[in-house]
């Protein structure tokens, strides 16, 4: 079950962060999800995952997750400890993969321009409000669809299907 209110520190990256930057191709043979997460954003800097503040947010510009449709990219972000990714826009397939894996992707066109590295954020997934606790400013993100919120609340599409169709 996912929390709908999240708090953490921001890591700001740029535009057009592709799936090979998020999870470099040399790690695609890995199957241990924790190990996949330990290489997250290695295409930008190999030290990011080791130093990422657990529960933090990746904040990006436009077209985050472009490139190939590898699930490893969303897995890497989640296992690195990101509670969500906030960006101006996302590649469509990456967006769907991440939501299905239980990783919230928050569309907020102004976030990359208004949030800086290390600033503390409070995100309310239900209302779409992002509060920069460092500056006091609040940004409004695009709302999630009812179905996306249901998937995220369950912790991912597999967990949702188990909940709906498997009686324990």
Burial of 163 (0-12, 13-18, 19+ CB in 10 A): middle
23 in Cβ contact with 66 (< 8 Å): no
Residue 46's pLDDT is what?
Answer: 94
Secondary element (H or E) of residue 84 = strand 84-87
Reply yes or no on whether the pLDDT at 18 is more than 60: yes
Q: Say yes or no to pLDDT of 85 above 70.
A: yes
Q: What is the mean pLDDT of the chain?
A: 94
Q: Which residue has the higher pLDDT, 141 or 146?
A: 141
The helix/strand/coil state of 59 is: strand
pLDDT in the model for residue 167: 67
Q: Identify the band that residue 168 occupies on the pLDDT scale cut at 50, 70 and 90.
A: low
Average pLDDT for 75-86: 97
Q: 136 versus 4: which is more confidently predicted?
A: 136
DSSP H helices, 28-166, are 33-37, 48-51, 72-80, 92-100, 111-114, 146-154, 157-165
Terminal C-alpha separation, the chain = 17
Strand partners of residue 139: 130
Give me the pLDDT at residue 163, please.
Answer: 87
pLDDT tens sequence across 38-61:
999 999 999 999 999 999 999 999
How confident is the model at residue 86, as a pLDDT?
A: 98
């Amino acid at each position: 079950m996912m929390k709908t209110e999240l708090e953490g520190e921001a890591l700001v990256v740029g535009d057009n962060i592709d799936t090979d930057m998020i999870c470099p191709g040399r790690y695609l043979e890995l199957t241990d999800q924790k190990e996949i997460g330990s290489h997250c954003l290695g295409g930008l800097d190999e030290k990011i995952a080791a130093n990422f503040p657990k529960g933090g947010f990746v904040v990006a510009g436009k077209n985050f997750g472009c490139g190939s449709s590898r699930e490893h990219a969303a897995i890497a972000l989640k296992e690195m400890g990101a509670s969500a990714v906030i960006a101006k826009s996302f590649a469509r397939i990456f967006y769907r993969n991440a939501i299905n894996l239980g990783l919230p992707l928050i569309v907020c066109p102004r976030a990359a321009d208004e949030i800086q590295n290390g600033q503390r954020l409070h995100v309310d997934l239900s209302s779409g409000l992002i509060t920069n606790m460092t500056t006091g400013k609040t940004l409004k993100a695009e709302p999630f669809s009812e179905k996306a919120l249901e998937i995220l609340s369950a912790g991912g599409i597999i967990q949702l299907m188990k909940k709906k169709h498997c009686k324990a």
